[in-house]
Structure 1
Amino acid sequence: MNELLEDALKRTTLYSDGRLYAFAQLPAEAVTDATSILAELPDPFSALLIDKDEITLVLPTHAWETLAARVPGAVRERDDYRLITFDAVLPPTLIGYMARISAALAAAGVPIFPFAAFSRDHLLVSANHFDQAWATLIHDVGLREME
């Protein structure tokens, strides 16, 4: 087994901020609106992904109405989501970390949206699957809750 992977998993603690998040799709031409809305948010977690066809935005659910009013054509995923942060500084060369985590969650029937920051990984899971995901990460993967 990969010692670097095992060490990273042993060092990882789980964190969740207890907030609900909306997962939204915006038209590609709404990039300026999306970035300005994120800049106005006081909340510590949000995500913006821009590709050639669309913009994906993750923001606290309380900000959805503002987004929908300012960006015609914005579409929100029906479910609310919860954030799980893997609180361990991970080197960009680490292999298999998210594969191990996602395999355990897939076996438990939990759909995920993974996001990587520069040195930490995050998952969004539907609020309905959060407790199952959290328990799987602790009992099946062996991660610890942040104290």
Structure 2
Amino acid sequence: MTTTTTLPEGMQRVAQSLAAAGHPHAPILLDGSARTAQQAADMLGVQLGQIAKSIIFRRKSDDAAVLVITSGDRRVDEKKVDAIVGKTGRADADFVKAATGFTIGGVSPVAHASAPVTLIDRELLRFDVIWAAAGHPHGVFQLKPQDLERLTGAPLADVVQDGTP
């Protein structure tokens, strides 16, 4: 059994945050990479849409990190995000690491280095159970879509491209 202290540092932060919030599922360290939504779905044996992807944008007006948590089978519509939070641009790996404390491929929806502006894709509500990154490319944790709202305090929003499967 993996104990909290044997987890990578990012996963330890996520585990502590989840425990403090009374979340019933601790992060798990997978044998293989879950860097992409498809890899995570394959490793877990779940539908691609059950993977809650964490995508970071950089708001142009103030350099704030904008976290969009979306269903793994959907693509984010940047124009819809911009209409909600203001003009954004792509975030490079250095910005993501500095803003969140996590590397790309392991960005968790919780336990960020500094609180991002967060939006949750309402498409995640299609599922009873979803999985999110847990602070490391091999780390994930189980939750319900409604848990994201409780854990992040973020609103549900229409943030995906129309007509995506």
Q: Determine if the TM-score, normalized by the shorter chain, exceeds 0.5.
A: no
Greater fraction strand:
1
Q: TM-score, normalised by structure 1?
A: 0.28
For the pair shown, the structure with the greater C-alpha radius of gyration is 1
Q: TM-score, normalised by structure 2?
A: 0.26
Greater fraction helix:
1
